[in-house]
Structure 1
Amino acid sequence: MVTPEADPELAVHGLVLLGTDTGTDSVYAVHMPTFTAPHDFQAVLRVTLDTDTYRTARKRYGTSALFTVSPRTLLLKDLEPGASFPAGLYFGRFGREGELLGEVRVEIEERPYVGHPTEPTIEPPPLRYVLFGREQLYLAHVVTRPPDFDQVLTAQLAGEWLTLAGEQSASTVAIPGRPDDLTSRLHPGEQVTVEGTELQVLAEVYLETADLAGEA
């Protein structure tokens, strides 16, 4: 039996859950990265869950509440469409203050985005986010180099609705005039222009600095 100690690529990969599976909305799982292998990657997954526990809790606590899942050991290469895995479902951050709600099986429907922290080629690097979602939009900060921060926000577009579908169900956007640092991050209530479209930031679902403070 392979254990995380025997294979350094095997590890528990924490995920932030977003959205619902009602109407045209989807459930998304966003990997919580660090700069230490095998956690040194970012991924946005569109997933389904095998129980109603998350749907019920999300309806109770709202769009911006933090839910996380803590899968058993996984490899990044296993996070492909069609794969599934068991995980503990938490209200809040698992391993800290989170409340265990039960066990779920997560099945991956689509992997809209995957990336690895890289040394910026522009000094200072621009503030960038992955924009994804269907009925509800979300922003996940693109991690570059330590020290950095992990942030997930809910958002909406002012005016004409942006449709993201198929292979373009996620896109990387730069925030004009903003350096890539914690102070300059997006905040709830802001309205910024992204690629000619007004984007309204609604709520901050998740913010983490301690996991990304170390050296790569």
Structure 2
Amino acid sequence: MKLVFTLLTGILISVSGLAAPHMHHDPAAVHGMLLFGRSQIYLSHLPMFHTPHDYQVILQATLSREGLYAYQKSVNSSDETVYTLVPEAFSLPEMLSRPVPFKAQIYKGHFERGGVLIADNVKVEIKILYFKKFSGAEIKPSVGTYILFGNSQEQFLAHSITAAPDFDQILKVKTNAQDVAVVSFKNLGNTEPLQAHQALEMTLGETVWPIEIESSLYTEFGDLSF
């Protein structure tokens, strides 16, 4: 089955927009994140539809040597696809408006669902790839909508979250496109996750590129059901 997805413009929120004063009132909290990637480390905030967790955030991250070693050693010796990072408490919009290094723990598995601690006191530095605060008034697209990101070695899709009920999904994909972009699958609804081993076609401007869904790293419905 072949599906087509096209670039949606004007949706990514600029980093400069994070400094708006009204974005600084969230209390400090622990913001668990999915940790993934081999050639480059990425973090995806585990969101909910209530304050202070009502944000979809994708970050590029650098881990201190001991934390990176523990993570890579576990990934190379296990079939586990879910790794989570638990940072020290901070206000998420404030951190993203003025990123500074922070300390965190790394868990093999979900840190709230039986995950095993594999590294502590890990220094983390971040670069923002995508940021959106849920408005509660956003109209959910009728077609499957995802955020594409990665590099020349690895590419990923993250389901674009809008309004409850919704789902969070991170997929490993293979494509020649590498820029961060919001894309849509025109022949696919927006209520069911993508499945592994689908061969799709991607249209960006005048160019059509194939994309293959290699695996689903994480899918979550419960935290976004209301």
Residue matched to 2:190: 180
1:21-78 residue CA offsets vs partner (Å, 9 max, x unmatched):
xxxx21111111100111011111111111221122122236x721101112121221
Aligned partner (choices 172, 177, 181) of residue 162 of structure 1: 177
CA distance in 2 between counterparts of 1:99 and 1:80 reads 31
Residue matched to 2:164: 146
CA distance in 2 between counterparts of 1:44 and 1:38 reads 16
Q: What does 1:60-71 align with in structure 2 at a 5 Å threshold?
A: 60-61=77-78, 65-71=81-87
CA distance in 2 between counterparts of 1:74 and 1:153 reads 27
CA distance in 2 between counterparts of 1:82 and 1:116 reads 17
Residue matched to 1:45: 59
Residue matched to 1:26: 40
Identity of aligned residues (%): 29
Residue matched to 2:21: none
Shift of 1:8: 5.4
1:167-198 residue CA offsets vs partner (Å, 9 max, x unmatched):
xxx1111011212103xx21001112222322
Gaps of 5+ in 1: 1-6, 165-169
More RCO (CA 8 Å, sep 6+): 2
What TM-score results when the alignment is normalised by the length of structure 2? 0.78
Q: What does 1:199-210 align with in structure 2 at a 5 Å threshold?
A: 199-210=211-222
Count of aligned positions? 191
Letter aligned with residue 87 of structure 2 = P
Q: What does 1:1-216 align with in structure 2 at a 5 Å threshold?
A: 9-20=27-38, 25-50=39-64, 51=66, 52-61=69-78, 65-76=81-92, 77-79=94-96, 82-103=99-120, 104-108=122-126, 110-118=127-135, 119-121=137-139, 125-134=142-151, 135-157=153-175, 161-164=176-179, 170-182=180-192, 185-195=193-203, 196-214=208-226
> Structure 1 pair 80/53, CA: closer, same or farther in 2 (3 Å)?
farther
Give the CA RMSD over aligned residues: 1.9
Greater helix share, 1 or 2?
Answer: 2
Gaps of 5+ in 2: 1-24
Letter aligned with residue 177 of structure 2 = L
**Which deviates the most, 111-120 or 91-100?**
111-120
